[in-house]
Amino acid sequence: MKPGLQFRLNQQLTLTPQLQQAIRLLQLSQLELEAELRQIAESNPLLEFSEDAANEGDGEADGEAATFDAPTEAATSANDGDSGDEPADWSQSGGNAEEPIDFSAGGSGNGSRNSGGDEDHFEPQNAAPETLQEHLLWQLNLTHLSLRERTIAAIIIDALNADGYLGETLESVTAAVPADLKATLEEVDAVRRQVQRFDPTGVASLDLRDCLRVQLEQFDPQLPQRELALRIVDGELELLARNDIARLSRRLRADDEETHAAAMLIRSLDPRPGAALDVTPVEYVAPDVYARKDSGRWRVSLNPDCQPRLGLNQHYCNLIAQARGEDASWMRGQLQEARWLIKSLESRAETLLKVAEAIVRRQSAFLDYGPEAMHPLVLREVAEEVGMHESTISRVTTRKYIHTPRGTFELKHFFSSGVSTEDGGSASATAIQAMLRKLIDAEDARKPLSDQAIAEELHRKGIQVARRTVAKYREAMRIPSSSERQRAG
């Protein structure tokens, strides 16, 4: 075979570093974007944040910085009452859960460490919330248990889940005890029963029946309904869940009034004793976009407080002309990257605004009339309207929020599949869920609607939906079944 030259013409899409950066910025949430930009600004001296302009809106606060603001359409949100709020403080004070507890101060350790903070104009800081494990270990340190029992109790406490139940089997807990202690299964269970009586009562339980029983045992034995409640917990929890008082009375050979009193006592107990000490932080959402009605038309604007004000440091820009050799080449490269970044941020803001406007145009009925008027909408429809790819729409609508008179929603909230109607149209899944919720809220508590009855009612409204679809929507909305919703007459 002789060597030869061949010419071939083809097209290939190459993602340049600048394009990759623009795509990455597009999919970041507002908080992630802020963190990303600060990290980039730390490594590029040509970039700086115009902090004064961002906080005070004074264009003369930093005369050397050429700031990047939202597109001109965003100025319409300046008069929105919600956009003037101070940005939320997302910082969290840390804590070490394994630190030994010091009782020498005679307090729980949650007191303020700075009594003169007001004089220094420091903002008050909340102490780190106490976890369930910390709360139980504090009580363990106050007991008269032996060192051996405390070691076993600490292992049990460490194995509790967020609801306060023992997340592992007794065999696993026994195996986790140091070998030199040679603890038996019976000994571990005995220590567990002592932990169950810590506050909150019922933690370290094996199951719901165990949790309710230990709480009932704390009541005065003279309480009339206590013994009947214990019998229900021991063997008739399923009937109690269905609220079948008549059958419960027959099974227990008690009258309906006594059975009802015992059932009310059980319902007053806490089936998730550990949840009260759940330290999951509350997340606050700052909307990226505002939608409001003006002169009968829905208008969309960017939230100026969420648009990063990033600019070029003019001092370093002026030094480029004086630099020589490798320093000049490096600074010009940094300047080019800074300009690309600012251009990418402008493109991100314009894309976000364009997509939000398209969504609001499609879902204006929802904004006017509520969830029941939500139209079916898929990514492809918005992508075709704004002339972008579906993947771009998916990135733009993920973790981006819009504030409307009906609340603040993630942009993805406005997308849902459709179900056909009798007139040849379609209804969105969100609208059907709203109708389902309305039907259940208006039902007779003594005769709740079954899934089949709800499906038939929706058929009468012209929406063709199967019973299993109703059940799927109901479960997604965390609405109990009709038997569980039933209430005594």
Residue type present at position 97: A
Average pLDDT over residues 388-416: 91
Superfamily of domain 418-485: Homeodomain-like (1.10.10.60)
Least trusted range by pLDDT, from 52-56, 131-135, 341-345, 403-407:
52-56
pLDDT at residue 279 above 50? yes
Higher pLDDT: 21 or 40? It is 40
Tell me the Cα Rg of the chain: 31
Return all residues near 470 (Cβ < 8 A) that are at least 6 apart.
436, 451, 452, 454, 455, 458
pLDDT tens readout for residues 311-358 = 888 888 888 878 777 878 888 888 888 899 889 899 999 999 999 999
Give the confidence band of 197 by pLDDT, cuts at 50, 70, 90. very high
Within 10 A of 473 (CB to CB), how many other CB atoms are there? 20
Higher pLDDT: 58 or 371? It is 371
User: Shortest CA distance to 449 belongs to which of 471, 428, 419, 427?
Assistant: 471
- Locate CATH 1.10.10.60 in the chain: 418-485
**pTM (2 decimals)?**
0.58
258 Rama sector, left if φ>0, alpha if ψ -120 to 50, beta otherwise: alpha
Average pLDDT over residues 124-133: 71
Which pLDDT belongs to residue 299? 93
pLDDT tens readout for residues 251-277 = 888 888 888 999 999 999 999 999 888
Which pLDDT belongs to residue 307? 80
Mean predicted lDDT score pLDDT of the chain: 79
266 Rama sector, left if φ>0, alpha if ψ -120 to 50, beta otherwise: alpha
Which pLDDT belongs to residue 464? 81
> What's the rounded Cα separation, in Å, for the pair 194 and 190?
7
> What's the rounded Cα separation, in Å, for the pair 249 and 393?
59
Give the confidence band of 1 by pLDDT, cuts at 50, 70, 90. low
Give the confidence band of 20 by pLDDT, cuts at 50, 70, 90. confident
